[in-house]
Amino acid sequence: MSDKISTLVNLISPKIGSHGVYANDEFFAPLERMLSETDPIFIPDKYDNHGKWMDGWETRRRRTPGFDWCLIKLGCPGTIKKIEINTKFFTGNYPPYAEIEGIYSEEQPDENDENWKTILNKKSIQGDAVNNFNAENESIFNWVKLKIFPDGGVARLRLWGDVFVDWDKISKKQILELSALNNGGKIISYNNAHYGDVSAILSYGRGKNMGDGWETRRRREPGNDWLIIKLGKKSFLTKAEVDTAFFKGNYPESCSIQAINTDDISKVKDEDWLTIIPKSILHADKVHKFSISTKFHSTEFSHIKLNIFPDGGVSRLRIFGHI
């Protein structure tokens, strides 16, 4: 097992459909920029019609009492555990305080709805820094509200937690993409992810470019690269897809898929994995569809291991089945 373990999902990520709905002010920089999965950048000589271009959400200087705020719709409901308020490159223009609230609502909630709950009480934050906090309420939310006091800029907001799926409402005959971030799938380990954002491999849609996927560095030693996914729920698997969209001179020569049912992945040995898709040749910029042998259809699995040989890039991995 790699020491690069991720147990939480960024619930505010556009990769699961999260998006900004409203900001009371976006004079210097738009809300959507704050939700980007990429690290913030600074371009010294870049300006636009409103002033200095900044990589994040930035409001104008407030000249009246109050605070600035924005409303964000989560792509799927979840419980928030960790909070990251990144003010990188905001030095003399960051907000000195921030507060976060959440709500579960089928409709867009009113700003003053009495059901808003505090996720993070008003906290002091530092400029040009990653400010980390523990969530103070782990209820299920699908809307969040960020307040900044009194104004300023935030480069990135990330809310780490667990996706919530009401499995009791899902038919046991329904075929689902059980590896998808929106269904609670998550990458828990990998040996290398030199390029791109590894979580993109579990997001919806085809990749937008070569940076929208999992890509390893060029392997100069024997062996192969791999990653491990925990499915949203233990399930019976029927088919898989491996998409190499935009990977043309750097796609893996081949891949295999293994599976296991376990409550403690840390105790699993290499020989414990069952190969459900044998080593298969891959091609550039293509969706590869695989059927899982019927001999595995009555076996319940909790985790998937994707092996790529020897290295390269995969845009999307999709594992289908029923609970």
H or E element that contains 51: strand 51-52
Task: Identify whether 261 is part of a domain.
Answer: yes
pTM: 0.90
* Same-domain status, 30 and 117: yes
* Same-domain status, 214 and 146: no
Bridge partner list, 98: 123, 148
Distance of CA 222 to the CA centre of its chain: 31
* Same-domain status, 32 and 151: yes
- What is residue 6's predicted lDDT score, i.e. its pLDDT? 56
Which CATH number fits the domain that encloses residue 264?
A: 2.60.120.260
Task: Identify whether 57 is part of a domain.
Answer: yes
- What is residue 33's predicted lDDT score, i.e. its pLDDT? 98
* Same-domain status, 208 and 134: no
Report the C-alpha gap between 102 and 138 in whole angstroms.
10
Question: By residue range, what is the domain housing residue 64?
Answer: 9-163
- What is residue 3's predicted lDDT score, i.e. its pLDDT? 40
159-185 burial string, b = 16+ CB within 10 Å, else e? bbbbbbbeeeeeeeeeebbbbbbbbbb
* Same-domain status, 103 and 240: no
DSSP string, 177-227: ETTSGGGT-EEEEES---BS-GGGGGSSSS-SSTTSSEEPPPP-SSS-EEE
Which of 161, 157, 159, 220 is CA-nearest to residue 192?
A: 220
Report the C-alpha gap between 163 and 181 in whole angstroms.
8
Q: Report pLDDT digits (tens) over 187-213.
A: 999 999 999 889 999 998 999 999 999
Report the C-alpha gap between 135 and 118 in whole angstroms.
9
Q: How many CA atoms lie within 13 A of 266 on its CB side?
A: 4
Q: Report pLDDT digits (tens) over 67-83.
A: 999 999 999 999 999 99
The count of domains in the chain is 2
Report the C-alpha gap between 78 and 138 in whole angstroms.
9
* Same-domain status, 183 and 141: no
- Where a domain ends, among 107, 134, 163? 163
* Same-domain status, 125 and 192: no
Three-class secondary structure assignment of 133-176: EECCCCCEEEEEEEEEECCCEECEEEEEEEECCCHHHCCCCCCE
- What is residue 1's predicted lDDT score, i.e. its pLDDT? 38
* Same-domain status, 290 and 230: yes
- What is residue 101's predicted lDDT score, i.e. its pLDDT? 98
* Same-domain status, 20 and 155: yes
**Which residues of the chain carry a pLDDT beneath 70?**
1-6
Task: Identify whether 2 is part of a domain.
Answer: no
Could you tell me if 247 and 315 are in contact, meaning their C-beta atoms sit under 8 angstroms apart? yes
Q: Report pLDDT digits (tens) over 31-69.
A: 999 999 899 999 999 999 999 999 999 999 999 999 999
Residue 301 corresponds to which tokens in the numbers above? Answer: 């699995």
- What is residue 196's predicted lDDT score, i.e. its pLDDT? 80
Could you tell me if 258 and 275 are in contact, meaning their C-beta atoms sit under 8 angstroms apart? yes
Report the C-alpha gap between 279 and 250 in whole angstroms.
18
* Same-domain status, 95 and 73: yes
* Same-domain status, 85 and 138: yes
Task: Identify whether 19 is part of a domain.
Answer: yes
* Same-domain status, 152 and 26: yes
Could you tell me if 227 and 187 are in contact, meaning their C-beta atoms sit under 8 angstroms apart? yes
Report the C-alpha gap between 163 and 182 in whole angstroms.
7
